[in-house]
Amino acid sequence: MAMIRPFRGVRYNPALVEDFSRVVSPPYDVISPEQQTLLHLRSPYNAVHLDFNQDSERYTAAAERLRDWLARDVLIRENEPALYFYSQEFTSQGGGKRRRIGVLAALRLEEFSSGIIRPHERTFEGAKKDRLDLLRSCQTHLSPIFCLYARKEWSLAQVAKSALAQPPLISLVDDKDVTHQVWNVTDPSVIAEVTKGLEQESLIIADGHHRYETALRYRQERGAQGQSSGEEPYNFVMAYLTNAYDDGLVILPTHRLLQEVTMPNLRDLRTVLQRDFHVGQFALDQRGAFLTALSAPGPGRRIGSMFAGAGYYWLLSFDDRATRNLQHLSPQLRSLDVTVLHDILLQQFLGLSPEMQKQKLSYTIDADEALQRVIDRKYQAAFLLNPTSYDQVARVCGQAETMPQKSTYFYPKLLTGLVFQQV
């Protein structure tokens, strides 16, 4: 069972930090180099100086800065353990207003083999080493893991209704016009109800796979230093939990951009693609029609593509015959468009091994941006995907399998800097 606890959060001191929007940042793995610099300049106390700084000795600098901010009361620690209810209000791509509500808590770490907490994406060793070195230095979880539970008949918002009616502890609007609000709740009855409501649930990690695996490794290291009761802070990770059936849960596709690879000429490529795909062609001035066709409901599946110098877009339509050579994968994985992209288009047709894909791919959630970068010859090719649904994620997790990295983009992202957890 998933076990959560309230914790004594560390947060920015409102007496010294009046504008919280200046000190928070997106998660480190979605920050571009340009945005990283802008966040550094936004405030000397921006969380990026801890989580993703530009110092030559990054981890040492983060730890020293964290200690300094605590000593000077830039950061303060709560007097008593609390759960932190976290609301995000935003406008969806369709123009509708949405609100997602979850809770920040200390989540007991569980090995994936237990089935209590399950990953849905693959991880890379380099990213895990980076996060582990940072955690060792700071001994603080700087960003929450994002987890999903699936319980249609139970609402966190209803449990915390009275708390959410009070003025929030933190309220800000970020650069994407998302309103973030946080309430700290110490009421034992609310904490007990939330804890009991989640204790029979299994969780799927939506975001933060590298940080979760890092926390497991850190727990192992700390536990090896002496006898562990299981209740030490390092046995827990700061996690945000929300309902997979919340109306505010939005999963966007992550499109791929390819660069610095040897490509076949377009005629040969089309000939190869036509073995498994129907290749529809759209002129550059038909971008709207192309994107509409990509996401249109109906039978069959589709991947959008564009290659530098082509002067048109290709819509690749396919069915299960495209994955006939992937019998080593489960039906759940074969049914994913992202599997077809990575295992068929990139690996079999373009000859890019998984390691090469990791080196040569960039990502964006903006389809227009992806296409324009190819038109501008900044990338060789773009591949556009439709979003992966929660049900697809759950089916893959149910088989104890994982998808390629960045198969999902849960929107909006959780902010770094609202609350920290010392471990």
Q: In the prediction, which pLDDT does 259 show?
A: 94
Helix segments in 15-154, DSSP class H: 33-42, 48-51, 58-71, 125-138
87, amino acid identity? S
In a domain, 393, yes or no: no
Q: In the prediction, which pLDDT does 352 show?
A: 93
| Beta strands 203-207; 117-118: pairing state | parallel
Instruction: Give percent helix, percent strand, percent coil of the chain, each to the nearest 5.
Output: 35, 25, 40
- Residue 133 sits in which domain range? 4-251+411-422
Beta-carbon contacts of 35 under 8 Å, excluding residues fewer than 6 positions away, are 26
* Banded model confidence at residue 48, pLDDT cuts 50, 70, 90: very high
Same domain, 299 and 379: yes
In a domain, 265, yes or no: yes
Same domain, 201 and 289: no
Same domain, 333 and 378: yes
Q: Residue 193's CB: how many other CB atoms inside 10 A?
A: 16
360-394 residue pLDDT tens: 999 999 999 999 999 999 999 999 999 999 999 99
Instruction: Find the angle CA(90)-CA(94)-CA(100) to the nearest 5 degrees.
Output: 30
Number of domains present in the structure of the chain:
2
Q: In the prediction, which pLDDT does 209 show?
A: 96
Phi and psi for 70 in degrees, rounded to 5? -70, -40
Same domain, 261 and 350: yes
**Cα radius of gyration (the chain):** 22
Q: In the prediction, which pLDDT does 228 show?
A: 82
Same domain, 113 and 217: yes
In a domain, 350, yes or no: yes
Same domain, 61 and 180: yes
Q: In the prediction, which pLDDT does 227 show?
A: 77
How long is the chain? 423
Same domain, 242 and 322: no
Same domain, 243 and 266: no
In a domain, 401, yes or no: no
Locate 89 and state its tokens: 């209000």
Rounded average pLDDT over 294-315: 91
Q: In the prediction, which pLDDT does 242 show?
A: 97
Same domain, 241 and 149: yes
In a domain, 403, yes or no: no
pLDDT of residue 152 exceeding 80: yes
Among residues of the chain, what percentage have pLDDT more than 70? 100
Same domain, 233 and 273: no
Same domain, 235 and 355: no
Distance CA 301, CA 313 (A): 16
In a domain, 392, yes or no: no
Burial label for 301, CB within 10 Å (0-12, 13-18, 19+), is: middle
In a domain, 400, yes or no: no
In a domain, 343, yes or no: yes
Question: Maximum CA pair distance of the chain?
Answer: 68
Same domain, 164 and 134: yes
- Average pLDDT across the chain, whole number: 94
Q: How far is CA 20 from the centre of its chain?
A: 22
- In terms of pTM, does the model score above 0.75? yes
